[in-house]
Amino acid sequence: MYRQRTRSLTSLVLGGCLGLCAAAACATADADHNHGEPHEPIPVVDPTPEFEHDNVEDHSHSRTDLQTTIARLNPEFAAMLRDTGVAADFGREGALYTVFVPSRENFTPALLRVGDEAERRELLAYYVVPGRMTSSELTNLKEVPTITGRSLSILIDEGATFFAVNQARVFRPNIEATNGIVHSLDAMLLPPDHPAAPALRDESPTSFVRVDLTLANTCGITQPRAFFAFDSAALRATAYDSLADLATCLTTGPLAGQRLLIEGFTDPRGSEDYNKSLGKQRAAAVKDYLVGAGVKSGQVKLRSHGEEDAHDDMPIYWDFDRRVDISLDADLKR
């Protein structure tokens, strides 16, 4: 159901450093990390059709530097970047960076306050990519290297409604700064060998309810931030506003009387029968909310896929497997 871009970093050619910075400045910035070893250069990429027109938040009269921009989104995270010395790199003349910033609501500072000073710096630097990379450029790649030398995986859903970095969904991309660009995340990023990484994946808020793009556009709603934790069918309150707007659209709005297909999915853990039941429970949780908001029960058809489309041997996808899809049901007539 989800795919990674297959173009590898090593197969692309450096050309003008992606228009991000002067070649000399990029080389200097990269070589100063990872004990003097230069990073693999940021490649030239062609924008993908899905993200061809980036909505970059670029208000030149009020644009600030990276550290100030980050502090506006998550002051505690900005302070940790400063205290570990990572933010000092942002001031290098001519250098540009891409920084992924976890939202305040989904930020647990204690996860980054482990080990000695060098280890804490490494954890914070995992959020920083050399060069300025917009959503178009990121989504054309399978992965991008951070200034630690470790890579972050880039994933995009088939409907091109959003993209994610590791397990974290990018919900506010392309926030422009004078010396780079920021993308805001709905979860934290941890290296795979961090003790809390498996639990972070299981509790990832990227497990979600997805409304078909045509349906969302017709109803004028935003994608619900409705998340399911591992082994849970409980619908979280963050979904309510968008689902309430969807209910209005189906009762008195442009799609009044139309019928929905709600499909539940799970990750591959557990038995086939158990996951089939869990997928149905997740779909039913969404239906129950819509019916409570005025949609007639007969307007909604449920279907559970369980683990049939899950990524068995790819744990990084499991949070994407835990979801509910909502679309108009072409098989049901008004």
* DSSP letter assigned to residue 267: -
Q: So what's the pLDDT on residue 33? A: 39
The two beta strands, 168-177 and 163-165, are antiparallel
**Residue 237 pLDDT:** 65
Give me the DSSP letters along 41-71.
PPPP-PPPGGGSS---B--TTT---HHHHHH
Q: Phi, psi at residue 54, to the nearest 5°?
A: -70, 135
H helix count then E strand count, the chain: 10, 12
167, two tokens: 């397990």
- 10-residue mean pLDDT series, the chain (334 residues): 38 35 38 40 35 51 86 97 95 94 90 92 97 93 93 76 80 94 92 75 56 87 65 70 90 94 87 89 90 93 87 68 84 42
Query: How many whole angstroms separate alpha carbon 66 and alpha carbon 63?
Result: 9
Contact 280/264 with Cβ under 8 angstroms?
Answer: yes
CB-based contacts of 193: which residues, under 8 Å, 6+ apart?
A: none
For residue 248, CA distances in Å to 96, 254, 290, 302 come to: 45, 9, 9, 20
What is the distance of C-alpha 243 from the center of its chain? 20
Closest CA to 262 of 283, 245, 242, 280: 283
Centroid of chain to Cα 237 = 19
Q: Residue 310: what pLDDT?
A: 76
Distance CA 204, CA 186 (A): 9
Contacts of 23 (CB under 8 A, 6+ apart): 16, 17
pLDDT of 117: 94
For 252-280, b/e burial (b = at least 16 CB within 10 A) is ebebeebbbbbbbbbbbbbeeeebbbbbb
Burial class (CB in 10 A: 0-12, 13-18, 19+), 137: buried
pLDDT score of 309: 76
Residue 330 · residue 214 · CB < 8 Å: no
Domains of the chain and any CATH numbers? 2-202 (2.30.180.10), 209-328 (3.30.1330.60)
So what's the pLDDT on residue 222? 76
